[in-house]
Structure 1
Amino acid sequence: MSLPPIIVQSKRPPRAKKPATTQQATTRAAPATTRAAPATTRAAPATSVDGDQTPRPPSENDTRTVPLNAAAATSSRLGLSVRETPASVEILTQEALRERGSRVLREAIEQSTGFTAGAIPNITSTVSVRGFINNSVNVLYDGVALPHNSTAARYTDLGNLERIEFLRGPASVLYGDGSVGAIINLVPRYPTWVPKADAEYAFSSFNSHRVHAGVGGPVLDNKAAVRFDATVNNFGSSVKHTRSQLEQYNGSILIPFGQDLTLTLSAEKQIDDIKNAYWGTPFVNGQLAGFLRNINYNNLTDARLGSDSDWLRANLVWNPTKEWEIRNIAYRYSAYRHWHNVENFAYNAGSNPPTVTRKWFGDLDHDHGVLGDRIQARHIGDIAGFANRFVIGAEASTVSWKSARNGFPGSQVVDAFNPPAVPFSAGTSILRTLARDVSLDSWAIFVEDQLSLTKQLKVLGGGRFDHFEGDWLYLDQGGIRRQQTYREPSYRGALLYDITPLTTIYGSYSSASEGGDSLYFLTPQQTDLGLTKARQTEVGLKQDIFGRGEFTLAAYHIIKKNLFVPDPANPNNRIHVGQQSSKGLEATLAYRINEQWKFDANAAFVRARLDDYTEGNPPVSYAGNVPQFVPKYVVNLGLRYSPFESWEFGAWLRHVDSVFINNANTQKLPAYTTVDVSAVYKHNKNVEFAARIRNLTDALYATWSGPTQAYIAEPRTFEISARARF
């Protein structure tokens, strides 16, 4: 679990006076402006009142994307800083998200190094990084992974989050099955002993409204601290009839028990409700059809898509000595997700008048529950005079996943420009029935260690063993039942060397495993197959630019074996013999030129290949082809200028190379470039107003596609907002 700011102070403050940690005091005293003078931009590791030098998460006003001295909780449980972590890490605080104009998860992902994300409702299955997609990218909530699932993360608003942490590369040694490409960790806001409140309202194109309010601080005469946040985002689209509402409510309470024990109880509820969801625009002659971009072919009178999920967590932290920390988190997740749409569209060439065939009238749901617990012990001390950090722990979870579905039957031929608004029953009378009942029970043990061989040289190692048992009941296939037990070890080893106090280099080797698909969606035949295996080698550099900025560089090579490919003897079945690999370079740069100018940039280059892969009947080899939805390079450039204390102007440019939409490499989505601009007026240190234009040039581009349709992004839009902090 990522370390929330409240952990830095285990003692309840005296009633007469509420001392804050260094981090809390810095946060309280920080000016509202995000501009920072060079002398103050390089933050030292936060320390608690008793002198603890453990790195802490960045303060909420820190807008650095790679704060080298802040804790990188997602990439290690040892309490290491970003500098000490032998991996590619980025952290976006709430203030950094605001500065970049990110409102929902997809927007934050796209502005991070090397990521692309499709603008469709189910976010995790449409993320690409380091040459991999689908369940190779996993989204955590507060450091907790939902086992083996790629559909849990939804179209999430960011208002209630404290920060997002990104870890690129395999992470099975930390989180088990999955995540060969990356981990994205959403960290909510937590209580502090300093009273805080904030509120924000934004109005944007298509009559869209977004409201956030949050409040927190000590209660019960300083015997506890609380935090409550609520965000409601109701937004329209350039696509006709589409309307979405996202709601998220968070509450938590921190209760100290004596000097060394704290309990944090947290609850979250997230609701998304999308009417006439946009499922894409059909290609015309293989090209993006700008003249159809505003037409919604899912304009059913009863179309709906949504989810309702709940998180409950209890986080207990005990510090029996200065060297030891014992942490236990118990959690429960429950979600119901449903779809009732028509989702596939194909333009009928040569028809007069022009027509589109819409099909896949899908009626399905997911009933998903997870119950789990993780306990770990961390020791910070020395071995034979060498500084050493050590973590050992175990976790267990049980998962229930049920899905009712109708098999996506039905089709209609409709006017390309005026599709009729009809009920779902006009396409099919078949509705969902319970089709699959899956349970997954798992346990794991893990260990990490970092040993300082010298003041400059550190060696880090980690290992994990996962044991999970799957039980699949296929009610839509005559009640077939399959059972399988997986036993998967994973490990990593790394060296770090501080060339100077400002320059660190590292090298690492790690292993990972994941299902050929999410384990919930395996066919009966696929349950007999083993997991895919991955190995990564990475070397990198982390550089503090004399307190004015940060620069990181990473080079990696990933090989993923045992991919699921069609069986030449029976193409309806799969065998795990395929191989895919990627090599790449990634760089991030943040530089504060002076008090007026700030520059941010990140770039990623990847050479991804299908080394051994066949499809079709008869089978066709695609060895040497580029995997689908993997751009060769992605570049983000940001510039902020503050000519006066009260005004700040910003621009963000993004360029994404073209991608193939199939493994045969016969069709592409074109490259695209977008520009966003913003202006912020700070009335005082607590109140500010902002205006923003996204996609300033009104570029026509698609972020993802199916074989016959593309998900065209929004045209030029505007937003105005007001925010107050107390």
Structure 2
Amino acid sequence: MRTTTVAPRLRPLTALTLAALAQFVQPVLAYGAEESTLSGITVRAQMERADGPVQGYRAERSATFTKTDTPLKEVPASLTVVPAELMRDQAMKSIADVVRYVPGVTAHSGEGNRDQLVLRGNSTTADFYIDGIRDDGQVFRDLYNLERVEVLKGPAGMIFGRGGAGGVVNRVAKRPVFGHVGAAELQVGSDNQVRGSVDVGNKINDAAAWRLNAMGERGDSFRDGVEMKRYAINPTLTLVPGQDTVLTLGYEHLRDDRTADRGFPSFNGVPFDAPLNTFFGNEEQNRARSTVDGFSALLEHDFGGGLEIRNNFRVTRYDKFYQNVLAAGPVNAAGKVELSAYNNANKRTNVFNQTDVTKKFLGAGLEHTLLAGVELGHQDSTSVRNTGYFGNATRITVSASNPTAAVSSFRQSASDANNRVKADIAAAYLQDQVALSKQWKVLAGVRYDHFKVDFDDQRATPTDLSRTDNAFSPRLGLIWTPTERSTYYASYSYAVLPSGEQLSLAPNTADLAPEKAKNYELGARWDVLPKLTLSAAAFRLDRDDVRAADPANPGFFVKTGQQRTDGVELGLQGDVMRNWQVFAGYAHLNGRITKATSSGAEGKKIGLVPDDALSIWNKFNLGNGWGAGLGVVYQSDSYASFTNDVKLPAFTRTDGALYYTFADGKTRLALNVENLFNRTYFPTSNGDNNISPGAPRNARLTLATAF
């Protein structure tokens, strides 16, 4: 048994929240009472603002980076906001669809069973959030109940805690609006796709309002035997017990059932040349099923005088099972390929509570927006993995022209996981946004995290492990606004990645201190037209102390490696003219290993990081109810993994759309066509031999109405 010294177990959430909150609130209240001359805006007034943070395709404000309502021009980081209108115009349905137009981010295939992204060269399954709360279950997420998706690039440890080496994805959910809401959509598409959704709500009285979002979808695929069905429902209720207090309660149930598709193997360093519908494995046995149940309670209170408190509580239960029969290597010269198989069952419960106190005040002649907060969390996860056997063998060789085989049994091998992992999280953070003058502002903050992981190995010969990490995560930003239409910034951000960050420990990692991610960035935003914003960022992101194999102790690791991503990102969002909207992004990235890691040798390129990626979507209002959309996505070639043995060829994909809004102004018919020119391309992979083919030309017809 291997252990490290551990801190005392956390107290119950409520007691810790009150104790920590008291430490923060008392000095803030005292200081604000003496020096504050700024009047607060009631929470209810904020909730009922008609303009909102996004107009069309262009976002003007965000709280993702700062946890305070901040103009984007005062955010010293690269932040892309994908609004609901763009998601609707492109008929987006998944997180992978969303990031297609986000510079610096590429979609990973996620073993065909989950959302996974590569942000500035850092692959992650865990850096997903919903309204600022960790949402790290390895599942597919839907967009049916979202106002927008905000993608923050660069380490985000000061606000989000552990992980976030390359950035985070924060989904912002819809809430009741104290007015009538009524909308419904029906969509049909290629490969028998059918989807319906509804968004309804109203106020009950002046002190209560409700909203309900729901969706259901099913369909096949251009891939043989691949199918999917899912549904979700999300009711929310907002209560206003007083003019300055708002309580919003929500519950979401989501079920997703689909074929786990592991794509193509490689041949001679490129994707194997086979018909796009060819399924490598066994489509009858490949399954991915997940159920998500989440409850949230958000309490906001405005004390007046610039002092507000926000308490965000969420408990989420994830139930996940996936099973794969997949290519275990490349196609050989004889036209043969090996198959292997496994399955995995995971159940996880997340309980998180964040308490934030913000205070706007004048101190020493300077304007301050002070944020003080605590986060408490507990995660409980069980995982059981079984190896697939073809008779008595764990691998079988088949012809690449008929690449299928049936698994006779799934059972545990000596190396398969069977564990329960518990993690306790306690963090405190402090941030100040200071206006030095009208042109100059400073943002500075630091977070302290206590992260304890207990690994209970439940195999026949168990190895129980424990690790506790305590870490500070600072950040600093300087913002210069020489004119109303231009802003420049310089920033530094930091994050830590503990050994047990994704709720897993092993004897060869339990003694390793956290990896570190550091980001240095220069950026700018220009309003090139009144409603059109151009943004730019140049950065260097180093991930230090990456695990590398220990040559003196095979099977163990040491902290010696480093990977680096240097890059430039550009974004353009808004109205080019009254009848022309644009949402575009470009990234030039150089991601490489600068010191050998467990993944690859020095000098190797980081997998799934193309040197150049460009995307541009245009929407045109043609008049008389007609509109059109045209988009182009380009990605230069990239490597499938750190080995640099397999290359994904460069590709360009063109998408189009045609819209018609009926005379009543409430009903719209939209035709979206993806891959207009029917190009063959391979946008992503899961290693060298699970390469995902892009869909050929396909169409979706959507009828949407408001009532």
What TM-score, normalized by structure 1, do the two folds share?
Answer: 0.87
Equivalent position of 1:565 in the other structure = 548
Q: CA deviation at 1:8?
A: 7.9
1:640 partnered with 2:619: yes
Q: Are 2:243 and 1:259 aligned?
A: yes
Deviation digits for residues 617-669 of structure 1 (CA, Å, limit 9, x no counterpart):
xxxx7222212221111111222222214111111101111112232423311
Instruction: Give the Å deviation of 1:710.
Output: 1.3
- The answer to whether 1:716 aligns with 2:697 is yes
Higher mean displacement: 400-409 or 238-247:
400-409
CA shift for structure 1 position 431: 8.9
| SS of aligned partner of 1:83 | helix
The one-letter code matched in structure 2 to 1:201 is L
Deviation at 1:222, TM superposition (A): 3.3
Report whether the alignment pairs 1:57 with 2:53: yes
Structure-2 residue corresponding to 1:412: 396
Give the stretch that moved more between structures: 588-597 or 88-97: 588-597
**Relative to structure 1, is the Cα distance of residues 121 and 563 closer, same or farther in structure 2, using a 3 angstrom cutoff?**
closer
Superposition deviation, residue 123 in structure 1: 7.4
- Which of 206, 219, 231 aligns to 1:222? It is 206
Correspondence 1:593 to 2:576: yes
Alignment of 1:667 with 2:646, yes or no, is yes
Tell me how far apart the structure 2 counterparts of residues 630 and 240 of structure 1 sit (CA, whole Å): 29
C-alpha contact 2:212 2:234 (8 A) present in aligned 1 = yes
- 1:362 partner letter: Y
For the residues of structure 1 that align with 2:321 and 2:348, how far apart are their CA atoms?
11
Whether 1:140 and 2:129 are equivalent positions in the alignment is yes
Q: Matches of residues 138-537 of structure 1 in structure 2 within 5 Å?
A: 138-146=127-135, 149=136, 152-219=137-204, 221-275=205-259, 277-346=260-329, 348-351=331-334, 354-359=335-340, 361-407=341-387, 410-419=394-403, 422=406, 424-425=407-408, 428=410, 435-476=418-459, 478-515=461-498, 518-537=501-520
Question: 2:290–2:320: 8 Å Cα contact kept in structure 1?
Answer: yes
- Find the residue that maps to 1:526 and give its secondary structure: coil
The Cα shift of 1:93 comes to 1.8
Q: Is the 8 A contact 2:266 2:331 kept in 1?
A: no
Secondary structure at the aligned position of 1:299 is classed as coil
Query: Contact 2:44 / 2:243 at 8 angstroms: preserved in 1?
Result: yes
Aligned with 2:630 (options 638, 645, 651)? 651
Q: What is the CA RMSD across the aligned residues, in angstroms? A: 2.4
Equivalent residues of 1:157, 1:233 under 8 A apart: no
Query: How do 1:536-575 and structure 2 match up within 5 A?
Result: 536-575=519-558
How far apart are residue 495 of structure 1 and its match?
A: 1.0
Asked if the contact 1:336/1:368 (under 8 Å) is kept, the reply is: yes
What letter matches 1:215 in structure 2? V
Distance in 2, Cα, partners of 1:120 & 1:699: 23
Structure 1 residues 495 and 420 mapped into 2: Cα distance closer, same or farther (>3 Å)?
closer
Q: Following the alignment from structure 2 to structure 1, what is the Cα–Cα distance between the partners of residues 226 and 413?
A: 23
Is the 1:402–1:434 contact (alpha carbons within 8 Å) kept by the matching residues of 2?
A: no
Q: What is the CA distance between 1:598 and its match in structure 2?
A: 3.0
CA distance in 2, matches of 1:301, 1:625: 37
TM-superposed CA distance for 1:78, in Å, is 2.5
- What displacement does 1:90 show? 1.6
Q: CA deviation at 1:475?
A: 2.2
In the aligned structure 2, how far is the partner of 1:419 from the partner of 1:511? 46
The equivalent position to 2:104 in structure 1, one of 107, 114, 120, is 114
**One-letter code of the match for 1:145?**
R
Post-superposition Cα deviations, 1:324-362, rounded to whole Å, max 9, x if no partner, equal 1111112111111001221334455344xx543211x21
- Is contact 1:403–1:437 with CA below 8 Å preserved after alignment? yes
Structure 2: tracts of 5 or more residues without a match: 1-39
Q: Structure 1 pair 437/21, CA: closer, same or farther in 2 (3 Å)?
A: closer
Report the residue type matching 2:170 in the other structure. N
Aligned mates of 2:274, 2:640 — CA distance in 1: 21
Q: How does 1:64-83 map to 2 (within 5 A)?
A: 64-65=57-58, 67-68=59-60, 70=61, 72-83=62-73
Deviation, structure 1 residue 256? 0.7
Judge which range, 406-415 or 389-398, deviates more: 406-415
Shift of 1:307: 0.6
Q: In structure 2, do the counterparts of structure 1 residues 389 and 442 end up closer, same or farther at CA, with 3 Å as the change threshold? A: same
CA 1:314 to 1:596, structure 2 compared with 1: closer, same or farther past 3 Å?
Answer: closer
Quick one: which amino acid aligns to residue 659 of structure 1?
S
1-side partners of 2:511 and 2:570: how far apart? 41
Give the distance between the partners of 2:119 and 2:669, measured in 1 at CA: 34
Give every structure 1 segment of 4 or more consecutive aligned residues whose post-TM-superposition deviation is greater than 6 Å.
431-434
Q: Which amino acid aligns with 1:367?
A: K
Distance in 2 (CA, whole Å) between partners of 1:498 and 1:182 is: 25
**Is 1:707 the equivalent of 2:688?**
yes
**Are the equivalent residues in 2 in contact too, given 1:117–1:123 (CA < 8 A)?**
no
Change over 3 Å in CA distance of 1:8–1:311 after alignment to 2: farther
* Match of residue 14 from structure 2: none
Contact kept, 8 Å, 2:129 with 2:171, in 1: the verdict is: yes
Tell me the distance in 2 between the aligned counterparts of 1:429 and 1:11: 56
Superposition deviation, residue 603 in structure 1: 0.4
Q: Are the structure 2 counterparts of residues 478 and 294 from structure 1 closer, same or farther at C-alpha, using a change threshold of 3 Å?
A: same
By how many angstroms is 1:235 displaced?
Answer: 2.1
Aligned to 1:98, what secondary structure does the other structure show? helix
Assess if the C-alpha contact under 8 Å between 1:121 and 1:155 holds in 2.
no
Cα distance in 1, alignment partners of residues 555 and 706 from structure 2: 58
> Percent identity over the alignment?
25
Change (3 A) 1:189 1:92: same
How many residue pairs get matched? 661
What CA deviation, in whole Å up to 9, does each residue of 1:534-591 have, x standing for no partner?
2111111111123141111111111211001111123321111111112111111135
Q: Which moved more, 1:76-85 or 1:657-666?
A: 657-666
Work out the CA distance in 1 between the residues paired with 2:432 and 2:72.
Answer: 16
1:628 alignment partner in structure 2: 607
**Does the residue aligned with 2:459 lie in a helix, a strand or coil?**
helix
Is 1:690 aligned with 2:674? Answer: no
Q: Deviations over 1:368-391 (max 9, x none)?
A: 011121111111121133211011
Offset, 1:686: 0.8
Shift of residue 300, structure 1, vs aligned partner: 5.0
| Cα distance change of structure 1 residues 522 and 216 upon mapping to structure 2, 3 Å threshold | same
Match of 1:15 in 2: none
Conservation of the 8 A alpha-carbon contact between 1:115 and 1:634: no
Give TM-score, length-normalised by structure 2: 0.89
Deviation at 1:188, TM superposition (A): 1.5
Q: Are the equivalent residues in 1 in contact too, given 2:453–2:503 (CA < 8 A)?
A: no
User: Structure 1 224/602 Cα, relative in aligned 2: closer, same or farther at 3 Å?
Assistant: same
Matched, 1:677 2:656: yes
Q: Residues 13-32 of structure 1 correspond to what in structure 2 (within 5 A)?
A: 23-24=49-50
Query: What is the CA deviation profile of residues 684-721 of structure 1, one whole-angstrom value per residue up to 9, with x for unaligned ones?
Result: 32100011110112222221142333111211111111
Cα distance in 2 for partners of 1:588, 1:710 equals 29
State the 1:421 CA deviation. 6.7
* CA–CA distance in structure 2, aligned partners of residues 290 and 689 of structure 1: 38
